[in-house]
Structure 1
Amino acid sequence: MRVSITLLGRFGVSVDGRPVPAADWRRDRAAALVKLLAITPAHRLHREQLMEAFWPELDAEAAGANLRKAVHFARRTLGAHELITLGNDVVALAPEAELSLDIEQFEAATRAALKSRDAAAFERAADLYPGQLLPDDIYVDWLDTPRTLLQQRNTELLRAGGLWQRLIAHDPTDEQAQCALMQRALDAGNRVEAIRQFNQLRDNLHAELGVGPSAAAIALYEQALALSSAEQPDPSDRIRASLAWGLVHLQSGEFDRASEIARDTRNQALAANLAREVGQASALLGLSANMQQRWPELFRSEFIEWVRARPTFVRHVFDGHLCLSEFCLCSAHGHAGIAAQSRELLAVATEADSVAGRGLANLLLGEVALFSGELDAAEALLEDAEDQLLEAGAVAGRVLALERLAEIALERGQKWRANRLILRGLGEAEATWLSPHLNMRMQALAVRAAPSREKAAEAILAGDRLLTTGACQPCSMALRTASVIALVEAGQLQEVDRRLADAERIAGMWHGGPWAAALWEARGVQRRAQGHEVRALAAFDEAASRYAELGRPRDAARCLARMGTGANAA
């Protein structure tokens, strides 16, 4: 019997040339059993090792029963009893079959290429690594080490073979590869290609988040711009170089210099009518101000100045401030001050007859009302904001309004309406450069609004694919905590600890917002599922207290309800 298993880039099994349909792996533990045995060098493990990997929270009797079920369903899915054997307390995968695994083929080809140093051998080996190990299982702990080792092996292979394009395909943020390709283009006199490579690197590093190219990459980029050519550089090229240098100063702690570059660059972008670059320069300015703890004052003055002087660009300036505005809004202890400032901004926008300004002010007022638990008032304000932002062409602001309206629908138990709003928001988000941020926010709601555990699992998987290198950490928090709660409620406890650890690390870096409260709530859900009721109650109580401090009564009431104290205590 011949068994072929694919683990790189996807999971697939074929027996005697017959592919096992993906839908047949309905039992997660059956698939996990085959995967774990496949990545184990001898393809065999003691039953206690498997029980510890899959059911560490269960006693030996319960874990043993689960293991027997997993073996049974794995055999049935593979279509042959002898492909999973259990004897002398050892479980083995296809011990008497001809077993072929893509990871072993890749490793053998890599060793041969590194030994021969032949270009064709490097290409052949690289062809055998179409993607990381089991990408749909990124939060499974026992895959961490083999996945990392295979990624490192692939990187070693590609660097040794000078296969820079392939390396970028697997890691778009690899600066050594991008710089090598830029240098190659410069050596060939191809400034256009060097510029394209820099822009690709810059976009993949999500420069608008405060993570930009290195000084070495920028220097190569400026060499490309300086090359004499009949074709004059596009104005956006020099503006991008300026923004990149501003990020270097920001990362070095030179906030005043970064702010100066941001203002100069924004003026250049305005002169060139480059809307996205106006937003990105505004983001750099906002990040610098936030590092100096003066962002609220900057935002107020920016809003008033732009509504009055350059209303056409108001939406682009706000795009640059979007993440920080949401971060600071959610961090407020009580919302009276923000509401007062938002009413002031609404008055300024009304006086200036700025539709975009009114829409943004109403959006902020609607969010304040939502957080304060005033759902009817919030809905009216957010619907007005959506209409005004649609008229003004302010896509990012409109998606935020749809996000908050979907939250209101969820608060009212209207999952069907929330899902309609989520689909609209996801569709709109693709029209803006902020789509990586907005998609994560909407996907968090998709997890919460899922009508079944199967749909929740699909939404979580789609969300995991958004959590790439450089993903906006503040915007990812709601997705991370929503995924944790959904997984616990589905009984998938083994995937929770890693997710919570990642979320807690981010919350520690970005102090403020409702995240500490959300993390306590998620921990409470986890502790209850683990049977630690006293610890669960303490976590829910802590979450309720923190939500109350932030002026979010409905969130606090939900945590109290989880404690079983009901509406009276709320």
Structure 2
Amino acid sequence: MRVEIQVLGGFSVSVDGVAVAPGLWRRDRAAALVKLLAVTPQHRMHREQVMNLFWPEADSEVAGAALRKAVHYARKALGQNDLISTNGDSLALAPAADLVIDAEDFEAAASAALRQPTPEACGTAADLYRGQLLPDDLYFDWLDAPRTGLAQRHIDLLRAGRLWQRLIAVEPSDEPAQCALMQAALDSGNRADAIRIFNQLRQSLHMELGLGPSAEAVALYEKALAIPTVDPVSQTDRIRASLAWGLLHLHSGDFDKARAVAEETRALAMAAGLAREVGEASALMGLCAMMQSRWKEVFQSEFIAWARKTPDKVAQVFDGHLCLAEFCLCNAKGHHEIGLAAQELLSAAEGAGSLAGRGLALMILGEVALFSGQIGEAERLLTEAEALLAKAAASAGRVLALERLAEIALSSGRNWHAKRLIARAEGIAATSWLAPHLEIRLKGLSVRAAGSKEKVLEVISEGDRLLSLHSHGCQPCSMGFRVASASALAEMGELDQVGRRLDEAERISAMWHGGPWVAAVWEARGIQRRAEKNDARAVSAFEEAASRYASLGRPTDEARCRAQIAGASRGG
């Protein structure tokens, strides 16, 4: 009997050339058992190991019964009892069959190619890597090591074979590959290709978060710009080179130099009508100010100055400060301080006749009211802000206003209205250069608004794809989705994915001190523990979350956690 199993790029099984219908894997644990044995050396495991991986919180009797059930349904899907052997205390996959697993074929070919690497041998071996190991199971801890190992082996092949184009298709931010391609383009006199490759690199790094190309890449870029040709170097290219150098000064700790470069570059970008580069230069200024503990003062003076000087450009400047503004707004006591500042911003914007400035100031005031528990006032302010921002074509600010209005609708049980607001916001977000930030924020709300388990899982899958696509994306902006997806999965009983998601959210929250994310993770931990029937630990987690929300001055969030404490204390 021949059993073929695909685990790279997806999951499928065929027995003697006949594919097992996907519908036969309706039982998640049956499929998971086959996957586990497929990626385990010798395809054999002790039953206790399987039980500890799949049901770590259950006692041995309950876990044993669950394992027997999983074996039964796996055998049923495979159509042969002896394809899952239970000899003694061990489980084995197809021990008497001709077992072919694509990951093993790839590993063998890769090992052979890397012993004597040539572009042809490495390329042929790399062709066998059809994609990430079991991409639909990203949150199973036991897949981490084999998934990472296989992905790294694929990259090693591409690098050893000097297959740079294929490498950057997999890792767009791989600077050695990008630099090699830029150098090759320069060597062949192709300046345009070198410039294109650099711009591809800078786009993948999200410069508005302070991630920029290396000094080597920037030097190659400037070398390309210096090549004399009939076509003059565009102002856009010069501005992008300047931004990259500004980031290098930031990373070296020369904040004053970085700020000076950012100011000069932003003026050039403003004159050239480059909205994204204006935002990136503003972000660089904001990061310098944050490093020097001066962000709030800089943001306030920036906002007022631009509202008065060029009222139609204030939204572009705000876009660069978006992530820092949202972080500081959520900081302990930060929303009260920014609320006072926003009143001054509103007065300045009204005096200057800046639609975008008025809309952004009202949006900030609406957020302050929302966090302070003044829901009716928040809805009024945010609705007015969204209308003004729509007239001013300030897309990022408008998406944030719609996001907060959707939160209010969800909290009052108006899911249908929240879905409409989210749909509008998604359409606008897709047109913004800040789309990677805005879209993942909206996915968190979409998880909460989904009306069925199937829809929740669909939205979570979409959000996971966004996180995978934007591997250098904004971690703070992803927190709402991470927490919402973990909480929803826990409430649906899909506990095997929850711990890993919350561990990652906890890691990110620890890097951004002072925001609401630590409290949000504790609340999600409470939901997880309650789903595990561990009411004592659930109460402790909800109490910690409530305390942290209280310290942030967020009474609505605190009250929700207090209600959760009461429910968990009653065991319901």
TM-score normalised by length of structure 2: 0.96
> Which of 516, 519, 531 in structure 1 is aligned with 2:518?
516
Give deviations 1:412-433, integer Å, cap 9, x for gaps.
Answer: 1122222222222222111011
Cross-structure match for 2:267 = 267
1:195 aligns with 2:195: yes
- Residues 462-477 of structure 1: matches in 2 within 5 Å? 462-468=462-468, 469-477=471-479
Alignment correspondent of 2:245: 245
TM-aligned CA deviation for residue 54 of structure 1: 0.6
CA shift at 1:83, angstroms?
A: 2.3
1:432 aligns with 2:429: no
Quick one: distance in 2 between partners of 1:423 and 1:28?
31
- How do 1:457-536 and structure 2 match up within 5 A? 457-468=457-468, 469-536=471-538
Aligned partner of 1:128 in structure 2 is 128
Show the counterpart of 2:550: 548
Give unmatched runs, 5+ long, in structure 2. Answer: none
Q: Which amino acid aligns with 2:374?
A: E
- Contact 2:175–2:217 (CA<8 Å) still a contact in 1? yes
Letter matched to residue 522 of structure 1: A
**Is the 8 Å Cα contact of residues 334 and 549 (structure 1) preserved in structure 2?**
no
**Does the aligned pair in 2 maintain the 1:329–1:338 contact within 8 Å?**
yes
Could you say which residue in structure 1 is the equivalent of 2:79? 79
Asked if 1:560 corresponds to 2:562, the answer is: yes
What is the SS of the residue equivalent to 1:92? strand
Q: Is 2:411 the counterpart of 1:411?
A: yes
Deviations 1:463-493 (A, max 9, x none): 2222242111111111221122122212233
- Shift in CA distance, 535/348, structure 1 to aligned 2, threshold 3 Å: same
Contact 1:304 1:348 survives alignment (8 Å): yes
Give 2:514's aligned amino acid: G
Q: Tell me whether 1:66 sits opposite 2:66 in the alignment.
A: yes
Q: Note if contact 2:545-2:561 (Cα within 8 Å) is conserved in structure 1.
A: yes
Deviates more, 1:222-231 or 1:2-11: 2-11
Q: Higher mean Cα deviation, 546-555 or 417-426?
A: 417-426
1:499-550 deviations in Å (ceiling 9; x for gaps) = 2222222222111111121122122222333343333222211211211221
CA contact (8 A) 1:278 1:316 kept: yes
SS at match of 2:144: helix
Q: Is 2:406–2:418's contact at 8 Å kept on the other side of the alignment?
A: yes
Distance 1:309 1:334, change over 3 A: closer
Q: What SS is found at the alignment partner of 2:42?
A: coil
Do the aligned residues in 2 keep the contact of 1:517 with 1:547 (CA within 8 Å)?
yes
Unaligned runs of 5+ in 1: none
What CA distance in whole angstroms lies between the structure 1 residues aligned with 2:350 and 2:338? 18
Q: What RMSD, in angstroms, separates the aligned Cα atoms of the two structures? A: 1.7
Q: CA deviation at 1:111?
A: 2.3
Code of the residue aligned with 2:372 in structure 1: it is: S
Structure 1: distance between partners of 2:338 and 2:113? 62
Quote how far apart the aligned CAs of 1:227 are: 0.9
- Aligned counterparts of 1:80 and 1:455: Cα–Cα separation in 2: 34
- Matched with 1:278 is 278
Task: Tell me how far apart the structure 1 counterparts of residues 147 and 361 of structure 2 sit (CA, whole Å).
Answer: 47
- Tell me, yes or no, if the aligned pair for 1:306 and 1:313 is still in contact at 8 Å: yes
SS at 2:96's partner residue? Answer: coil
Q: How many correspondences in the alignment? A: 566
Distance across 2 between alignment mates of 1:133 and 1:27: 20
Partner of 1:117: 117
**Deviation at 1:565?**
7.2
Residues 1:287 and 1:22: Cα distance change in structure 2 (over 3 Å): farther
Cα deviation 1:323-348 (Å, max 9, x = unaligned): 11111111141744322222221222
- Give the equivalent residue in structure 1 for 2:158: 158
Note if contact 1:406-1:418 (Cα within 8 Å) is conserved in structure 2: yes
Deviations 1:149-202 (A, max 9, x none): 112211211111111111112211111111111111111111111111111111
Q: Does 1:351 align with 2:351?
A: yes
Residue pair 1:131, 1:170 contacting (<8 A) in 2 also: no
Q: Name the CA distance, whole Å, in 1 between partners of 2:334 and 2:436.
A: 29
The 8 Å contact of residues 334 and 551 in structure 1, kept in 2 or not, is answered as: no
**C-alpha distance in 2 between matches for 1:460 and 1:417:** 20
SS in 2 for 1:99: strand
Distance 1:519 1:533 in 2: 17
CA contact (8 A) 2:527 2:538 kept: yes
CA deviations 1:259-303 (Å, max 9, x no partner) are: 111101101111211111001100110111111111111111111
Q: Give the C-alpha shift of residue 364 in structure 1.
A: 0.8
Deviations along 1:45-64, one digit per CA (max 9) or x if unpaired, are: 12111111111111111111
Q: Distance in 1 between matches of 2:343 and 2:485?
A: 35
CA distance in 2, matches of 1:29, 1:455: 21
Deviates more, 1:31-40 or 1:119-128: 119-128
Amino acid at match of 1:483: S
Alignment of 1:42-441 (within 5 A): 42-333=42-333, 335-441=335-441
The code of the aligned residue for 1:333 comes to K
Aligned mates of 2:334, 2:265 — CA distance in 1? 36
Q: 1:17 Cα deviation (Å)?
A: 2.7
- 2:547 partner amino acid: S
Greater shift, 46-55 or 91-100, is seen at: 91-100
Other-structure match for 2:17: 17
Q: Within 2, Cα distance between the matches of 1:135 and 1:20?
A: 19
Equivalents in 2 of 1:513, 1:194: separation in Å? 41
- Measure how far apart 1:15 and its partner are: 2.7
> 2:30 is matched by which residue type in structure 1?
A
SS at match of 2:4: strand
Identity across matched positions, percent = 62
Cα distance change, pair 241–334 in 1 and its aligned pair in 2 (3 A): closer
Where 2:365 maps in the other structure, the secondary structure is helix
CA distance in 2, matches of 1:416, 1:65: 41
Q: Secondary structure of the equivalent of 1:451?
A: coil
Distance (Å, rounded) in 1 between the aligned partners of 2:475 and 2:358: 29
